[in-house]
Amino acid sequence: MKIGKNLLKRLLIFNTGLTMKLETGNLDILSAENEERRGWFVGSFIPKDSLLNSDSCEVKWSKFLKGLKRTSSQDASDNTHTVAVLIKGKWKCFFTEEKKKVILSEPGDFVAYDGGAHHENEALEDSHLMVIRWRNKE
């Protein structure tokens, strides 16, 4: 899986004999260089030697142009929780089975839901979101 040579720079910082691993980059570039991941940049699908590799959570950087619509669903047996946080723009999330509409319109607005929640998304304005998904311990 390609990370991008110019994107993630691994630096070793020596401080009182301790070594710290550090990775830096730009999520827009990372997403463009790894389109198959659809914005997901933390998770088990990241190379094992990266600080961004995790078996316990996944994080996504999403940018959508006004008018974009998407239907999303997770398997009903998916034992996860998800939270989507609006960074910029205006975003509508409609949970089809519950017939519940949520509008994220201010930076920091969020919606959290369980795995298996079928929903339709629409960018009401050009929008940026951060999505975090983690496994439920139950």
Report domain extents, the chain. 56-135
What is the share, in percent, of the chain residues with pLDDT greater than 90?
A: 50
Residue 116 has pLDDT above 80, yes or no: no
Instruction: Give the residues across from 101 on adjacent strands.
Output: 94
| CATH 2.60.120.10 at 56-135, yes or no | yes
Q: Are 59 and 43 in contact (CB under 8 A)?
A: yes
Distance CA 1, CA 35 (A): 11
Report the predicted TM-score, pTM, of the whole model to 2 decimal places: 0.79
Residue 70 has pLDDT above 70, yes or no: yes
Give the mean pLDDT of 34-47.
89
Select from 126, 129, 13 the least CA-distant residue to 72.
Answer: 129
Residue 34: what pLDDT?
86
What is the share, in percent, of the chain residues with pLDDT greater than 70?
A: 83
